[in-house]
Structure formats: structure tokens, C-alpha cells
Amino acid sequence: MNKRILLEDLGNKDYKETWDYQEVLFKSVLDLKIKNRREGSRLETPNHFLFVEHPHVYTLGKSGDIGNLLVDENVLTKKGAKFYKINRGGDITYHGPGQIVGYPILDLDNFFTDIHKYLRFLEEMIILTLEEYGIKGERSKGETGVWIDVGTPFARKICALGVRASRWVTMHGFALNVNSDLGYFDLMIPCGIKGKAVTSLNVELGQKEVDLGEVKEKLLKHFSCLFEAEFLACNKQV
């Protein structure tokens, strides 16, 4: 089993361009798995992990309700935002500057074949990272993602998750609000969940800005521990 993961930080990149790139990587892993099965070969399947920060964009999962986007296209244009219907699970999500988005494109045959466990590990990575900042992140029953003050009138979401998987190969992933402009969340019903707020790491810490690079390092540390994985970037271990 190949537990090495090629890490790429794409910087600030258009959502559609990144989605297309994900699809290329996703298909290459799937094609290799199909080839191995057909030919009885055992060629090693690669794993990828993309970090990216998107310009303002709203995405709606395949089971989502368009009614959870509260404005029309003209308002989105004025706000400098785009909208896409995409092929992940979940409802509507916002991505924008100051948010760390992570797309693990893994062959889970290299790790474990359990999507529920995979989602819980992604949540645990976020929870452990928040803990390093003195913040108690939690799961909310029946609601994927990571929350703060669950079970109180002040419950608020800090990280959204939405994935797609085929033949145990994953794509899409998580979005952690670090220095996000929370005003953009007012244009939708986040993840289709009414009556609950959204927050960002800098707001919780009472800081103007949190170092994104530092947060990414912590995320990778916990991801590699949970998945027993080794990250490679530019042919160097990180």
C-alpha cells in the first residue's frame, strides 16, 4: 500500500480550474486501478493533496437545494462571486479568500476502505488543529463538518466537508475558515442548515489575521498522523 502523498499548494486559483485539475488527477488514479484489475497487475496508485485558496465562489452539491442560495446571479456578479453546481455530496458551500481549502485525492485502498471513517478523520484533523489554538472543535450529530459550542444557542460552524468517491478514490474535501469574510455566508443557508451561524479562526481568536501557512503545517501534521501518511512536495518530504 502506498501511503505517500504528493502535496501541492496551488495558491489562489479559480474554482473551475482547480475542479478540472482535480478531475484529471482523480481520473488518472481510477484508470490505473481499472488497469490493475483488468490485467492483474499491481502498479502503485498515487495519492494527492491539494491546498488552495479560491476567489469568491458558491458551490452546490449534487443533492443540494438551489433555494439555499438566497440571491440571484446579478447580486453574485456585484459581489464578485461565481456559482457552480458540482459533483460532491452535501449542499451549498462558500469558498473565498482567507479560507484554507484542502482536496485529498486518495486511493483509500492504500489506507482503509471506509468513507465514514475517512470523513471522521478529516474532522479529527480540524479538531486537533483547532485545539492547538485553544479552541474546542466538535462534531454535531447528523451534520458533517466541525463546529464550536455544539448544543448551545451559539453553535457555529468553522469547517465544511463535502467529498466524492468512486472505487475508493476520493476528491473534493474540506474548507476551513481562517481569515474569511463572514459577510459572504449571509447570501446563503450554509450547508442547508438553518438557524446556525458560521465563524472563522481569526474571529474566535480575536485577531485581525491568522497565519495561513502555520495553520496548513498543523493540518498536515495531524493528517499524516491520522492516516499514517508521508507527504512529499517537490520530491522532498515535508
What radius of gyration, in Å, describes the C-alpha atoms of the chain? 18
The answer to whether 102 is annotated as binding is no
Percentages helix, strand, coil for the chain, rounded to the nearest 5? Answer: 35, 30, 35
Whether 233 has a binding-site annotation, put simply, is no
Please indicate if the annotation marks 231 as binding a ligand: no
Retrieve residue 115's grid coordinates: 468513507
Query: Does 86 show up as a binding residue in the annotation?
Result: no
Cell numbers for 208, please give them: 485581525
pLDDT of residue 32 exceeding 80: yes
Asked whether residue 101 carries a pLDDT value surpassing 90, the answer given is yes
Confidence category of residue 237, pLDDT binned at 50, 70, 90: very low
189's grid cell: 443557508
- The CA-based diameter of the chain, rounded to the nearest angstrom, is 57
pLDDT at residue 61, rounded to an integer: 86
pLDDT score recorded for residue 238: 41
Per-residue pLDDT band at 236 (split at 50, 70, 90): very low
- 90 known ligand binder: yes
Q: What is the DSSP string of 192-220?
A: G-TT-EE--HHHHHT-S---HHHHHHHHH
Among this protein's residues, is 225 annotated catalytic? no
* CB-CB contact of 222 with 191 (8 Å): no
Q: What is the fold of 4-237? A: BirA Bifunctional Protein; domain 2 (3.30.930)
Mean pLDDT of all residues in 91-98: 92
What stretches of the chain show up as alpha helix (H) in DSSP? 15-39, 73-78, 115-131, 201-205, 212-227
Q: Identify the pLDDT of residue 196.
A: 74
139-178 confidence digits (pLDDT tens): 999 888 999 999 999 999 999 999 999 999 999 999 999 9
Q: Which residue has the cell 459581489?
A: 79
Determine the pLDDT at residue 40: 92
How far, rounded to the nearest angstrom, does the alpha carbon of residue 224 sit from its chain's CA centroid? 16
Q: What are phi and psi for residue 217, nearest 5 degrees?
A: -60, -40
The pLDDT value given to residue 164 = 94
Mean pLDDT for the stretch of residues 193-221: 92
Among the listed residues 159, 191, 225, 234, the single catalytic one is 191
**51 near 7, Cβ under 8 Å?**
yes
| Sequence letter at residue 89 | G
The domain limits of the chain are 4-237
Q: Which residues contact 148 (CB under 8 A, 6 or more apart)?
A: 135, 136, 137, 138, 155, 156, 157, 158, 199, 204
